[in-house]
Amino acid sequence: MEYMKNEDISAIRHDYGKYKFDESNINPDPLEQFSKWFNEALSGDFVDPNAFALSTVSEQGRPSSRILLIKGFDSRGFIFYTNYESRKGGELLKNPYASMLFFWDKFERQVRIEGKVLKLSAEESDKYFQSRPYTSRLGAWASEQSKVLKSRFTLVRKVASLMLKYKTSVPLPPFWGGYLLVPDSFEFWQGRESRLHDRFRYELQSDGTWKIDRLYP
Ligand SMILES: Cc1cc2nc3c(=O)[nH]c(=O)nc-3n(C[C@H](O)[C@H](O)[C@H](O)COP(=O)(O)O)c2cc1C
């Protein structure tokens, strides 16, 4: 198989500069700044405006990333749902620090968020779980996420037998639920002309205030 030539790939480029982000329009509260950009992303006709890359680190210091969907954010932090026994779940158990990365290309923006990750209460997880479609709830029970699966048939058969077990109501699996990332650092990146992008980092201080620095692009 022929791959695309590296020269052709390296020729893919476009200029940024649709928006600017500077000291005059930055919000001193990073959550409010995030909320503003998130609302704009929601109106941007993205398929998954709430998608982000979650990076975790193994006990041996090896990072890994995957796309998830945020299902909420509030003054506590950022909420996402997954299988606690997945690869990411295992890594978070050993090392409860993670980073989240949002990229909204139409807006020429990325947001990096870092912090400590905690499990949500089973009550809060259940509330969200029960709002999911029936088949998604069964899917959560059926999937031993990140484990080796012999065949697709094995999975489909599992779902079928779960349908008989849970005809209407589906309880929250004990191995499934939400995490809350409590942020201590944010970085907002806005693409600008000639690659002179705007970058602002917020770092949480011990007195609970946020220190804001502009970074070189
Ligand atoms: C658009 C998109 C959204 C996804 N949302 C989730 C999600 O909210 N929760 C989840 O567990 N996996 C989600 N996934 C699947 C994950 O990327 C990943 O395959 C899975 O969580 C297993 O990751 P792990 O083996 O590193 O634990 C999503 C994938 C994509 C492409």
pLDDT for position 33: 98
Q: How far is the CA of 102 from the centre of ligand 1 (A)?
A: 14
CA-CA distance, 193 to 198, in Å (whole number)?
10
Please tell me the residue having the least CA distance from ligand 1 atom 13: 68
Domain membership of residue 105 (yes or no) is yes
Is position 139 within any domain? Answer: no
For residue 143 and ligand 1, the question of a CB distance below 6 A is answered with: no
pLDDT value of residue 71: 98
Ligand 1 center from residue 136 Cα (angstroms): 13
The pLDDT score that the predictor gives to residue 104 is 98
| CA–centroid distance for 55 within its chain | 9
Torsion of CA 101, 74, 123, 179, to 10 degrees: 20
Ligand 1 centroid–CA 22 distance in Å is 34
pLDDT for res 50: 98
Q: Is 48 in the pocket of ligand 1 (CB under 6 A)?
A: yes
The verdict on whether 62 is a catalytic residue reads: no
Residue 125 lies in a domain: yes
Structural domains in the chain (count): 1
Token pair listed for 6: 């590296």
* 98 backbone φψ class: left, alpha, beta (φ>0; ψ -120 to 50): beta
Whether 186 is covered by a domain: the verdict is yes
Cα–Cα distance, 35 to 109 (Å, whole number):
13
The predicted pLDDT at position 194 comes to 93
Which residue out of 67, 81, 99, 131 has the highest number of ligand 1 atoms within 8 Å of its CB and is therefore the one to mutate? 67
Q: Which of 112, 132, 195, 201 is catalytic?
A: 195
Sign, Cα dihedral of 181, 58, 147, 103? positive
CB 84 within 8 A of CB 119: yes
Quote the domain boundaries for residue 21: 16-134+174-214
Average pLDDT for runs of 10 along the chain of length 217: 94 93 96 98 97 97 98 98 98 98 98 98 98 97 98 98 96 98 98 96 98 98
The residues near 97 (Cβ < 8 Å, ≥ 6 apart) are: 57, 114, 115, 116, 117
Alpha-carbon distance of 77 to 28, in angstroms, equals: 16
Q: How far apart are the CA of 67 and the centre of ligand 1, in A? A: 5
The secondary element (H helix, E strand) that includes residue 154 is helix 152-165
User: Ligand 1: distance of its center to the CA of 68 in Å?
Assistant: 5
Index of the ligand 1 atom closest to the CA of residue 48: 1
* CATH of residue 122: 2.30.110.10
Pinpoint the alpha helices (H) of 6-113: 6-10, 30-42, 87-94
pLDDT of residue 212: 98
Is residue 100 in a domain?
Answer: yes
* Interatomic CA distance for residues 35 and 50, integer angstroms: 12
Q: Is residue 200 part of a domain?
A: yes
User: Using DSSP, how many helices (H) and how many strands (E) does the chain show?
Assistant: 6, 8
Residue at 140 is within a domain: no
User: For residue 146, what are its two tokens?
Assistant: 């990140």
Given this model, what pLDDT does residue 72 score? 98
Does residue 207 fall inside a structural domain? yes
pTM as predicted: 0.97
Sign of the Cα pseudo-torsion (186, 213, 14, 35, in order): positive
Beta-strand (E) ranges in the chain?
51-57, 63-74, 77-83, 97-104, 109-119, 176-190, 198-204, 210-214
| Spacing of C-alpha 86 from chain mean position | 15
Q: What is the position in ligand 1's atom list of the atom closest to the CA of 56?
A: 26
